[in-house]
Amino acid sequence: MRACRDLRGRTRTHLNHQVHVRNKLTKSHSTLSALTLTAAASLLLAACSGGAGASGSASGSSSGSAAAGGVTCASGSITAVGSTALQPLIEQAAKQYQDACSGATVNVQGGGSGTGLSQVLSGGANIGNSDIFAEEKLKPADATQLVDHKVVKQGWVMVVNPSVTGVTNLTKDQATQIWTGKITNWKDVGGSDAPIVLVIRPESSGTRATFKKLILGGATEASGKALTEDSNGAVTKAVESTPGATSIIGFAYFQQNKQSLTGLQLDGVEATVKNMADGSYKLAAFGHMYTKGQPSGVAKAFLDYMLSDPIQKTLVPKLFYAPVQPGS
């Protein structure tokens, strides 16, 4: 930019000098010289103007512009609704995106995977966040209207209230018997003599659907003997405050509350990001962000950002998720 300002100054001085000289020359000669110099000056000034315009566009927030760090910015407002297991990641990603793109607003809400899918299908939300595939919750004709954007791999951990002692691991079979009401006391799985209190999620929950599919083999939970809470956060608080309680929460929630909860192994495998990523820990699934049809504007820009290095290589592991592999 400094070079362009110097060039403009020198060009104006040269043009003024040319006018002075032209008055002393013959008419034909002065006309040719003036035209030649004017054309050259115009090209040089245009080049500088073009550079300034590209720089301004690059730092702006208009649709399709690129902010610092390679973020593609778009102007407008969108709402992403659904999975509370994904919510910590998407909320933080939205904050980072809005910090980089002042013209964009990304509203993130919970409600559960079922709510996210139904809202994006009906047009009530731009993005539906889900722990499960749309086909598992919606009618086939409805599911085909949605486009799946896998953004992360996520895991859940079985947790118990600290009053439960002597239990550090549950097999898949033990977990199934507990959650179907066949085992009702912790002493039956090596723990203290205390009744088991189940803290369960509503039917709309993707966490519940994933646990039911991967661990219970589709068996029906003993819901009549359970407390019901509507989010990962609410479940965490309920288990923390209820003696003998157990439930399932996302890795991110467990890491934030390790001091007040006990996490259990599954079939002898620790609930860690490494074990989830390599497939040895089985209570894990993709995190989905659905759109109705192909996304555009802020929705597309934000979804692209979710797959960018600042999210996949930095924020994802920081919050105890695993990056999604290209083509997953």
Q: Which pLDDT belongs to residue 69?
A: 63
Helix (H, G, I), strand (E, B) or coil at 150: strand
Q: Which fold has domain 155-278?
A: D-Maltodextrin-Binding Protein; domain 2 (3.40.190)
Q: What is the pLDDT of the chain when averaged over all its residues?
A: 84
Output phi, psi for 169, to 5 deg.
-145, 145
pLDDT grade for 226, boundaries at 50, 70 and 90: confident
CA distance 221 to 238: 18
What is the CA angle 43-35-27, rounded to 5? Answer: 170
Asked if the model's pLDDT at residue 208 lies above 70, the reply is yes
User: Mean per-residue pLDDT for 274-295?
Assistant: 97
Q: What is the mean pLDDT of residues 170-199?
A: 97
Average pLDDT rounded to a whole number, residues 199-209: 93
| Closest to 77 measured CA to CA, from 92, 65, 61 | 61
Predicted local confidence at residue 231, as pLDDT: 92
Compute the distance between CA of residue 149 and CA of residue 114 in angstroms, rounded to an integer: 16
125-159 pLDDT, tens digit each? 999 999 999 999 999 999 999 999 999 999 999 99
Distance between CA atoms of residues 81 and 211, nearest Å: 21
Higher pLDDT, 217 or 326: 217
| C-alpha pair distances (Å), 102 with each of 40, 76, 108, 225, 304 | 39, 10, 17, 49, 17
Which pTM was predicted? 0.79
CA separation, residue 314 to residues 89, 271, 320 (Å): 11, 20, 10
Q: Is the pLDDT of residue 321 over 50?
A: yes
Nearest to 37 by CA among 4, 13, 3: 13
Domain locations along the chain: 2-58, 65-152+287-318, 155-278
Token couple for 76: 């407008």
Mapped onto helix, strand or coil, the DSSP state of residue 177 is helix
Mean pLDDT is lowest, of 30-44, 234-248, 262-276, 313-327, for: 30-44
DSSP codes of every residue in 214-245: HTSTTPPP-GGGEEE-SSHHHHHHHHHHSTTE
Greater confidence (29 vs 160) lies with: 160
For the cut 90, the answer to whether the pLDDT of residue 21 exceeds it is no
Identify the pLDDT of residue 56.
29
Q: Please state the CATH superfamily assignment of the domain spanning residues 65-152+287-318 in this structure.
A: Periplasmic binding protein-like II (3.40.190.10)
Higher-pLDDT residue of 268 and 66 is 268
Mean pLDDT over 296-319 rounds to 97
For the beta carbon of residue 73, count every other beta carbon within 10 angstroms.
Answer: 25
